[in-house]
Chains A and B, each alone.
Chain A
Amino acid sequence: MGANPGRAQRLYQTIGAVRTGIIILLIVGIVSAAGTVILQRPLTSPEDMERAYSPQVLRILDGTGLTDVYHVWWYLALLALLAISIICASVERWPNAWKFYSQPYRRTDAAFRAVLPLRTSLPVTDAAQALAAAERVWKRHGLKPERTVEREEVALYAEKSRCAVLAVYVVHASLLLIMLGGVTDSIWGYKGYVALVPGEPAISQIELRDNTVRRLPFALRCDEAGQENYTGQFSMMPKRWWSKLTVLENGREVEHKEIAVNDPLVYRGVRFYQSGYGTSSELRKTRLAVLRPEDSATPEAFKLAVNQTVQLRDGASVTMVKFISDAFPMDNDLYQRSKDLNNAAIKLEVTRNGNTQPVFLFRTEEAAPGDLTLTGPYDAQGNPVTQVPYRFLASLDLAPFTGLQVSHEPGQWAVWAGCLLLAAGLILSFWVLHQRYWAVAVQDKEGRLVLWLGAASNKKREAFEEHFQRIAKEIETELM
């Protein structure tokens, strides 16, 4: 019966020991470092993973969880162990700290006077006068002296920044608070992305980072979006992306906001951040210019839509067959590889004298998002076509999209509160000095009346010693 509490007590003490904490810190550090060197799963594509590691190595890495080390169960267990260690260490030491904080030792009994390391004695003639002088000097140094009476002996006591004693507990408690916030977010929070095309109807589904879809309890619509570039020589650099967003609940517009980078929309705890602006693969308008190089006539310009045919001056006709946003060539034709805008191309059919010839136009450069220029004629492989005596220039208007990062982080308030508390705790810990001063008029060993002065601080011993000696000197001068 007696053995069990002993073992539990020892386990409790081992977990709360500083050495345990440091060992856990070290392991967390090493594992975190490994996570930066070993490719991690959600961010790295499976093809890159297979290219970097051999199948056996990849199996070992996946099996041990090293490919998603920051979310694997044993890493989280380590962090939990760290939290438990901090809790045990704090709880174990708290009672003493609280006693020290709440019951300051004001007395100046003989035993205390003999043991305190930082002390000095000034010979005086009148006890009351000596104490009054000490009080004045202390007040000048920003201390608030209090008189304590014990068995008709009057003593002085002053203290500064007692809260610094508890700073350590504040620091560790704030670390726990931050971890709590992080855990809350990993369980109840989510992060995702949504691309809205301005003017299109509202959506209420977002794609999360782990590739699942989440429904929001409201809908979001983008009315307008744009990009501002810098002026002058930096006109190619984006200065600002903005979007005018509207939130709808049950079909009713409840909120409007124009967001920009670093200025998100927050609605019901869900935040929408302006993260980018670009060209989607949705074709709106096509302007086609046809030029015959051998005659110096001006080019013919047309507005075209897909499957529309236009007649040229010389009787030939041109049909826009299709627009491919991400083209790859196969069997002398172009096919769509993905819905992204990667390698834009247009297929035209030119009919002259009864013969139909397919030609392709490819991208030359992108002037600004939403504006695309294609030239030709080329074949599907990109080689110039000489059978048609025209040169084509197509200017495409693609719908822009605005990219928004979505996040819901209910635990972030705990994290920010924890950070502020941590900063306060560290400043208290390192830069605020807990100072205590005592003064009492007593008779020394030879029976003479002296003013005994003592002081203590929790750090910066040398500087504090000098400070104390200076105060003692001032009191001495005061008494003369």
Chain B
Amino acid sequence: MKFYRSAIEAEGAEVIGYDRIRYNLAESSVRDRSLKDLGIELKGLDLPYAQDHFGLPELRELIASQSGPNVERDHIMITAGASAALFIMAITLLEKDDHVVITRPNYCTNIETPEAIGCDVSFVELEYDRRFRFDPDYLKAVVTPRTKYVSLTCPNNPDGSMLTLEELKAVVRITEEKRCRLLVDETYREMAHENLLPVAATLGSHVVSISSMSKTYGVPGIRIGWIHCQDRELMESFLCAKEQMSIHGSILDETVAYETLLQKEEWLAEVLPEILEGKEIVRKWISEDPHLDWVEPDGGSTCFVRIDAGLEIDYDVFYERLLSKYGTYVGPGHWFGFGKNYMRIGFAWNDMDKLRSGLQGISANIHDFIDR
């Protein structure tokens, strides 16, 4: 078994060089915030070893209370971002040759860790032309008695497609009937554009929800995510994994996360309109450029855009020139296992003028190729 560096890391902004990027449309989060923006005070922190390795009790309590009725503090474990949560889930439940069902495209850790463990992975391919949707009944055919869990991300990365409430309930029901667990990566859940879904873990004790502060709250520099699950025994196993990886998380981060989530309502009221405004700007841009189409996202801060495959474009040159001539940086399709004429565009990280300029750069770059 071998870990490969994923393209999304190898070609990440740190590698490309931030100084070359004027319009960064590759980010999948909302704009970054500072401690000052958060308006919080951090005084009298002792920072000893944590007493509770599950995570700061106040923070877990707060997340529980914000996750729905009847959610208890003990259903929540704090992790170093959603990535550590996904990693913990995989190593706790999976062994070599175990079967796991994963929707694709998906966040790389969701796919790579089970593969690295040597699992037998069945993919549910979400297709652009089917608007990244899938029929929950399809799971009945793929899930076998060996299946340890079904893994999906909702809203999905990179396309922002979401299950409907009925579909989510159907997935929960089918996995329960099949006696396998369900993992829902809900990192973007609170960025639903219209219909906010319930936390999936509240719908069944076989469901594990994973979430994070990194995307919706503009604070990815504090590494805070969490696992939500009603199954106490499983939570104990998760804790064992966490303790052996790093004992517990940064107490400073957990304190900042707590303060940030105290202002959750105000922040969402501020940032959700910005997300929708960004989406409108992309919609307008798509409608004005005949070489482009997209699958309109239902949630999240990114969308997946397609350039007409009929155009004769050398995409390696295209992306290099997009950066060097137009200062625009996007997530090319191959980061997500798609052709390079697809790209992920983040529409909530920049201010709106920068977003517009970046999008215009993409169009201008396409036209450079057509005109030649």
User: Is this pair of chains taken from one and the same complex?
Assistant: no
